[in-house]
Amino acid sequence: QIGALPIPDAPGGGEANVVLFLRDLTEARRLEAMRVDFVANASHELRTPLAALLGFIETLQGPAKEDARAREQFLGIMRTQAQRMTGLIDDLLSLSRIELHEHVAPTRIVDLGRIARQMVEMQAPLARERGVALTVERPDIPLPVLGDRDELLRVVENLVENAVKYGNSGGVVVVSLHRIEGAAGRGAQIELRVRDEGPGIAAEHIPRLTERFYRVDTASSRQQGGTGLGLAIVKHTLNRHRGKLIIESEPGHGTTVRVSLPEHRPDGSETMPAELPP
């Protein structure tokens, strides 16, 4: 946007005395388009289960008296749809909460290995149900990072859930932890990897997976109870923790998702701005 303001009382007077202002609207337009897209997607995602719910309510209230088994079946579907809406709203709230304090670095010391182990224990029933062997491997050393425990639990939860959901039933999911020495005076990184033996993800999708509502196969994600927000939540949480997310996948050979966070040093120097990611 280019504009000009005349300065009536400027020395010299005349038409030449103007202040020019230049403003690049490209970024503002891009952000506005993203916001509009987000609202449209969120509304659509909420409308789909709501329409199914209303349809079943109308059927149950309609003149055709369903038998007890059919009613039971309808109520089961209605419950699943209502749960889907609750899950979506929870994810939307988490995302906005994380975005709100994305620029405030966490200050508590937590052990990423303990968080991973705890989440793997919590996910054991889902893995058993899907016939997936879920294991965790960690070195016998402390793996300290500065982090928000609940947010990091959520990161591990999203990655393990994806590996179990999209990995082939009957496969193996391995969560492993590593301490990676930093190069030339840089601090070490604590890395968490979640590896599955699923169908993998084609290369063209990988850069878009952290976009809100982006799904490789929307029908299959919905069927698995996915919202398409999991990896967006992971990305924003990692921004806050100055962490990185790398997704490596080869169709037919499974997926490995890697999350790395700066190791907490006793002198707190991992918080030095020089090490902030670009």
What is the binding site for ligand ADP (CB under 6 A)? Answer: 158, 162-163, 166, 196, 198, 201, 209, 215-217, 221, 226-231, 255
* Nearest CB to ligand ADP, comparing residues 189 and 221: 221
CB of residue 95 vs ligand ADP: minimum separation in angstroms? 11
Q: Based on the number of CB atoms within 10 Å of its own CB, is 77 exposed (0-12), middle (13-18) or buried (19 or more)?
A: middle
**CA 271 – CA 216 distance, rounded (Å):** 36
CB of residue 209 vs ligand ADP: minimum separation in angstroms? 5
CB of residue 252 vs ligand ADP: minimum separation in angstroms? 11
* Nearest CB to ligand ADP, comparing residues 145 and 229: 229
* Nearest CB to ligand ADP, comparing residues 71 and 130: 130
* Nearest CB to ligand ADP, comparing residues 165 and 240: 165
| Sequence-separated (6 or more) residues with CB below 8 Å from residue 187 | 262, 263, 265, 269, 270, 275
DSSP 10-39: -TT-STT-EEEEE---HHHHHHHHHHHHHH
Q: Based on the number of CB atoms within 10 Å of its own CB, is 72 exposed (0-12), middle (13-18) or buried (19 or more)?
A: exposed
CB of residue 126 vs ligand ADP: minimum separation in angstroms? 13
* Nearest CB to ligand ADP, comparing residues 146 and 164: 164
* Nearest CB to ligand ADP, comparing residues 121 and 250: 250
CB of residue 84 vs ligand ADP: minimum separation in angstroms? 11
CB of residue 131 vs ligand ADP: minimum separation in angstroms? 16
**Residue 255, H or E segment:** strand 255-262
CB of residue 261 vs ligand ADP: minimum separation in angstroms? 19
Among residues 254, 212, 230, the alpha carbon closest in space to that of 161 is found at: 230
* Nearest CB to ligand ADP, comparing residues 148 and 157: 157
Alpha helices, H only, the chain: 26-61, 68-100, 112-130, 149-166, 218-223, 230-240
Among residues 97, 62, 84, 123, the alpha carbon closest in space to that of 221 is found at: 84
**Quick check: 251 and 200 in contact, CB under 8 A?**
yes
